[in-house]
Chains A and B, each alone.
Chain A
């Protein structure tokens, strides 16, 4: 079973929810797919046993063979090749690695080389659970390839919890691949409601059942509750805003480490999520 934790935008508590659950649910396997800003490893403090660099291809032009026909540049939908009368220059940062330029080149002048775009780290968290995360190199355009590889590396027989990238971009869609259930973490503010609407739309389109967790409850207004009730969305839990939790988070500690009360809060949340996930798959 793969459960993906999402949010309309960053900072709503996606990492908080997924990490606290991962600590409580002993058999879980946590994967941080937020490769632009991975934060789970800060709380999981894993012992890394394996590293893998993820690479992408980009074209290289052999000027001796190039006949300057500009077919490659005309074909490229990403404007990643500049072709002049005397030189053809690929821009590797814009390349999506589709292979089209190589395909259309009549002179066989284009070959592909590989460059690293990020790293995947696997290991065991300080709580003894299995943990995987990816990190995109700064200045790289897209982490989708890293996320796809993270997806490949997880074992399907296990309970997998995914800390997804925020929002509804291509990275989020990639993280959702193969998910059985999703949990949207939101906050009770006008921003929270506005942002989660887009996630709801995306999950409906992808046909993935989901429920909602309201984080920082008590800090804002009622708009999120009104929206959920209008749209008939299930709220599986509420996490109250508490300064001590925010302070613990600041220093890299999780709520379940603070007290039994926080533990039971997340235990209840997990029971509700499990129940809802099972129910949605029976119906």
Chain B
């Protein structure tokens, strides 16, 4: 059986991506859930998984200098293209990209690359299915690799347990994390807001989706904050072949549901039904 991956992304954070993903989870029967927003993982707050397994993720290495062996020749600092080594020489771990050039160039063998912990991966069980999520160590940059790890773990689980869907809370933005979140996915849902910045970001994220994944759809959150911008977004989406599946109004009840750690589509079902929820579910689960 082929697993269908539904990835929820947004041009930027705060548009309601996680709220929407959590809302979808109970309605996809037999699903494995993954939170690929490793910089700001929030999905577990609403889905409350019971953690069964925790593992360390080491996605990169950093250079270390052995002071006793170092001859202060400064070749390492001269060759480092990331400005990570000063003349002391001392390595700034936040700037080191683990490329290994310093280790290679050092005539005194004073530099070695050491693996570092860049994140943690959690596997657990929610009321709606298994869930994988992760947390990046602040300041680390291998989030693309951590995103791939979370996605692969979720996919493996879906395959071994013969679940038809993997639901992914993707990363915001248009950089490496998003590309890792959506590459090869069959379905992408872009959650957006009816603002000038929302429209600006949508255009960019639609380009990324078209390049790296299958069919894209759009959900407009808080559409009634600006009906004019909402219309512009619909036009832009249709133009890019990404139909608008649902328009949710701005309603404090949704914020209140989230604050109470409840799933909005369950707590405020009426609101979702009147916004086109049934049609959205039908489209996303169609072959």
Contacts and interface: CB of A to CB of B under 8 A. Distances in A.
A98 interface: yes
A11 B13 contact: yes
Contacts of B207: 138-139
A226 to B, nearest CB: 13
B271 interface: no
A23 to B, nearest CB: 17
Nearest to A250: B226
22 contacts: A8-B40, A9-B39, A10-B10, A37-B11, A37-B204, A75-B104, A77-B98, A97-B81, A98-B82, A103-B101, A139-B174, A141-B144, A142-B176, A144-B141, A166-B39, A166-B40, A189-B259, A198-B135, A243-B225, A250-B196, A250-B225, A251-B196
Contact of A100 (B45, B101, B174, B196): B101
Contact of B13 (A10, A136, A172, A189): A10
A246 B100 CA distance: 48
Contact of A205 (B101, B139, B143): B139
Interface in B212-265: 212, 222, 225-226, 228-229, 250, 252, 255, 258-259, 261
A190 interface: yes
B197 A39 contact: yes
A144 B201 CA distance: 19
A201 interface: yes
A139 B197 contact: no
B12 A11 contact: yes
Contacts of B40: 8-9, 166-167, 191, 194-195, 198
A168 B18 CA distance: 18
Given A9-B13, A99-B79, A148-B83, 11 more contacts: A100-B99, A138-B208, A141-B179, A142-B141, A166-B13, A171-B175, A191-B40, A194-B40, A194-B42, A243-B225, A247-B225
Interface in B187-211: 193-198, 200-201, 204, 207-208, 211
A75 B280 CA distance: 48
A140 B177 CA distance: 11
A210 to B, nearest CB: 13
Contact of A141 (B176, B198, B261): B176
A221 B259 contact: yes
A36 B252 CA distance: 29
A104 interface: yes
A169 interface: yes
Interface of B: 10-15, 18, 37, 39-42, 45, 61, 79, 81-83, 94, 97-101, 104-105, 135-136, 138-141, 143-144, 172-177, 179, 193-198, 200-201, 204, 207-208, 211-212, 222, 225-226, 228-229, 250, 252, 255, 258-259, 261
Contact of A42 (B45, B100, B101, B196): B196
Interface string A104-145: 100000000000000000000000000000001011111110
Interface of A: 8-12, 15, 36-37, 39, 42, 75, 77-78, 96-100, 103-104, 136, 138-144, 148, 165-173, 189-191, 194-195, 198-199, 201-202, 205-206, 219-221, 243, 246-247, 249-252
Contacts of A168: 39, 136, 138-139
Given A10-B14, A39-B201, A246-B225, A252 B174 contact: no
A136 B175 contact: yes
In the A-B complex, the 9 residue pairs with the smallest Cβ-Cβ separation, listed nearest first, are: A11-B14, A10-B13, A170-B141, A98-B99, A167-B39, A250-B226, A9-B40, A202-B138, A168-B138
A243 B225 CA distance: 8
A16 to B, nearest CB: 10
Contact of B42 (A191, A201, A246): A191
B252 A96 contact: no
A104 B104 contact: yes
A219 B255 contact: yes
Kindly name the residue among B98, B139, B198, B258 whose own CB sees the greatest number of chain A CB atoms within 10 A: B139
Nearest to A247: B225
B105 to A, nearest CB: 7
Nearest to B139: A173
Contacts of B252: 219
Nearest to B211: A139
Given A166-B40, A205-B139, A220-B255, A15 B197 contact: yes
A190 B40 CA distance: 12
A166 B171 CA distance: 12
Contacts of B61: 77
B217 to A, nearest CB: 19
